Structure 1
């Protein structure tokens, strides 16, 4: 038996916790587990993310726009949770809970998510640097930059689940319906 270290034990714990959570939630929202409905959730997230970026940018010029971002982020939570439920949280699943094809799909989606995160955060950082160099005296620059950075992080973090929710085939109905045992 191989040596058990802290990382191995943590991965085993994470896998057990994931499988228990999957068993507890596999029967939730059964009609939303089709590819068509998952795509509706993905598009809705895209619209919410666009609204977050617009609200963040609007904060620079209109002080009342600062109220929009928290409202949009609260609207994001149920949509994101629903997508996670209906897609089986495959984007953040531990490798021991997935088969080889699922691991490959997850890793490809995570790679794209990392690229999206890095690119968007780089854009926000460059915006803040140039705004400082140009001596923009906008008192809301810090708030706008902060919520832009949070938006960029949320978009990047959600990208793997959005990709998998969009591309994965429909789940077998026998996997959704409760067993008679």
Structure 2
């Protein structure tokens, strides 16, 4: 358990407003609880073991936290490298308030979570992401139906010779 006391933002209030899916919320809290000063990089396998979730479930949870759209970066975690994530410095814990402020000042403005419109932008990003997933499911279903119809037509045109 972390003994870090300072955060650059009211993380609990922000997270409550986001209405994260349960697995994403648990993943974020676990990364935050395991945090060293300024955050810790954690891979999906380790996080899955800590949460008792499969790697695909952890991956889906992390995608929710990492949502990135053209107009708004809704990053609660950042991918350090493939499969390894780090909590946003504004949500991480620090040993003293000065360290928290230094970390925020070093961040690009686009990655900060203290905008008045952050929560509404995050919800729009989630809705757009869900719409994108629904569209992909429709395309896969249409492709599967077309493949099945083609197979049925081929079977219907084959005649036994006898």
Same fold (TM over 0.5): no
Instruction: Return the structure number with greater strand share.
Output: 2
Highest CA radius of gyration, 1 or 2?
A: 2
Q: Which has the higher contact order (CA 8 A, sep 6+)?
A: 1
TM-score normalised by L of structure 1: 0.31
TM-score, normalised via structure 2 length: 0.34
Query: Which structure features the higher share of helix residues?
Result: 1
